[in-house]
Amino acid sequence: MSSRSDHDFGGLPDWAQRPLVMQIFAQAHALGGEARIVGGAVRDWLANYPVGDIDMAINLPIETVASHMVACDMRVVETGLKHGTITLYDDDDQIELTQTRVDLETDGRHAIVAHDQDWARDAARRDFTINALYLDSSGGIFDPLDGKADLQAGRLCFAGDAGLRVQEDALRMIRYCRFLPRYAAMGVDPQAQMALCEHANLCAGLSGERIANEMRRIMVGGRLKEVIGLMRYSKIDQAALGLSLNPSRLANDDEIGSMIAGLGTNVDFVWLVNLAVAMPSGSAALLAKRLRLSRSEERCLTRLDLGLSDDDMTMLSGARWRQSVYYLGDMAALLFAVESWRNGQAVDGSRLAEFTSWTPPQNPICGTDLLSHGVDNGPAIGQMLLKAESRWVKSNFRLGRAALLERIFGK
């Protein structure tokens, strides 16, 4: 345990000197209290990962803090006042600020909290030891649970009793699975695994939105076979999703990375590719409802669930791939990856890149061309256009307007 890191900080690191952070430090001091940066930002900084969002804690009642910040002309949103949390805004920056606290009652989803100015007790109620790391305004580290040592050793441990932590908030079990690839080089902690197995059923009570937010990151977070294997072994998948996932069909990190690289900018639905590979066939509707997916995500997962025919896979793998991509559109690369892995085959990343970089040509004829040749304006035009398009595509897009019209009208 240490009250200050053995590094020579020279004060706060650059990432922590954002104006809003410095203002919170100053206003906490003006109120006679103290604010500290806590959790993920400190953890990732010490682990040499890029620092993302900054969360802070303050050892004063949050109502007092909120009133003071408003009086100082700061924008305050009471995002979770009854849980001891507000969000502060400054231009494009925002920071979640939480009072140091203890949990009085929990039900696996929500907690009734009380202000407690003791930083060590605040640390004890956090999820993992590596998230119970605090950085004060002078650059000092407060580490009451030896989270830094766990971080350096690659140990992912719950703070205190693992069983109690997951009963306080069942989402922590899914978060453990998400954190595993990056922070658990030593593998799954035995106490954590026991807690996950004993209390997995509590995940059934979590909201679909909270589960989906974790799954979006899990499915692209690395060591996927191991993570999904843990979820299946502990039956977290069955409780949280209503079905069992199959890790055996999932690709390794390198191949998933190759897929992501091949997709270029079309990566919003990558997590659904891995989900479609791992889930039982025909599960799209169930998962879309459970996870409360957006309409676009639901459409994508439903199409991935249907998969591709053998003929489509043959076309996409061969020289005439453009003909299939023309009809499949943006789904071509995603479907190709899913079907390849379902079939136990490696995905050709260079072929995916070809799919996503190719711009389909414009159909050379339209309805006006047919009308000018005496075709009545009605259903027949649509049927003729479809047949013409099919001929054009089968020619590998070589037939021009004149040639197509000659084929249609025989002139």
The verdict on 345 and 392 lying in the same domain is no
CA distance 39 to 264: 32
Considering the domain boundaries, does residue 185 fall inside one? no
The verdict on 15 and 133 lying in the same domain is yes
* Chain Cα centroid distance, residue 53: 15
Task: Identify the pLDDT of residue 3.
Answer: 39
The verdict on 123 and 262 lying in the same domain is no
The verdict on 391 and 279 lying in the same domain is no
Tens-place pLDDT, residues 67-105 = 999 999 899 998 888 788 999 999 889 999 999 987 655
For residue 136, what are its two tokens?
């004060």
Q: 153, 183, 208: which is the final residue of a domain?
A: 153
Mean per-residue pLDDT of the chain: 90
Sequence-distant (≥ 6) Cβ neighbours of residue 326 within 8 angstroms: 360, 393, 397
Encoded amino acid at 127, one letter: D
The verdict on 327 and 383 lying in the same domain is no
Considering the domain boundaries, does residue 164 fall inside one? no
CA distance 202 to 200: 5
Tens-place pLDDT, residues 218-239 = 999 999 999 999 999 999 999 9
The verdict on 84 and 64 lying in the same domain is yes
Number of structural domains, the chain? 3
Considering the domain boundaries, does residue 321 fall inside one? yes
- Examine the pLDDT at 276 and tell me if it is beyond 50: yes
The verdict on 261 and 320 lying in the same domain is yes
Residue 394 vs residues 262, 367, 408: alpha-carbon distances, Å:
26, 20, 15
Sequence-distant (≥ 6) Cβ neighbours of residue 161 within 8 angstroms: none
Residue 40 belongs to what domain range? 1-153
Determine what percent of the chain is predicted with pLDDT higher than 70: 92
The verdict on 350 and 381 lying in the same domain is no
User: Do 301 and 276 meet the contact criterion of CB atoms below 8 Å apart?
Assistant: yes
Q: Quote the pTM value.
A: 0.87
pLDDT bracket for residue 282 (50, 70, 90): very high
For residue 320, what are its two tokens?
């005439």
Residue owning tokens 């030896």: 146
- Examine the pLDDT at 5 and tell me if it is beyond 50: no
Considering the domain boundaries, does residue 311 fall inside one? yes
Tens-place pLDDT, residues 171-181 = 999 999 999 99
Considering the domain boundaries, does residue 232 fall inside one? no
Considering the domain boundaries, does residue 173 fall inside one? no
The verdict on 2 and 136 lying in the same domain is yes
The verdict on 252 and 375 lying in the same domain is no
The verdict on 146 and 7 lying in the same domain is yes
Task: Identify the pLDDT of residue 109.
Answer: 55
* Chain Cα centroid distance, residue 141: 29
Read out DSSP for 267-292?
A: -TTHHHHHHHHHSPTT-HHHHHHHTT
**What mean pLDDT is predicted for residues 205-221?**
96
CB atoms under 10 Å from CB of 161, counted, come to 12
Half-sphere exposure of 366 (CA within 13 A, CB side): 2
The verdict on 12 and 116 lying in the same domain is yes
Q: 109, 130, 153: which is the final residue of a domain?
A: 153
CA distance 84 to 98: 5
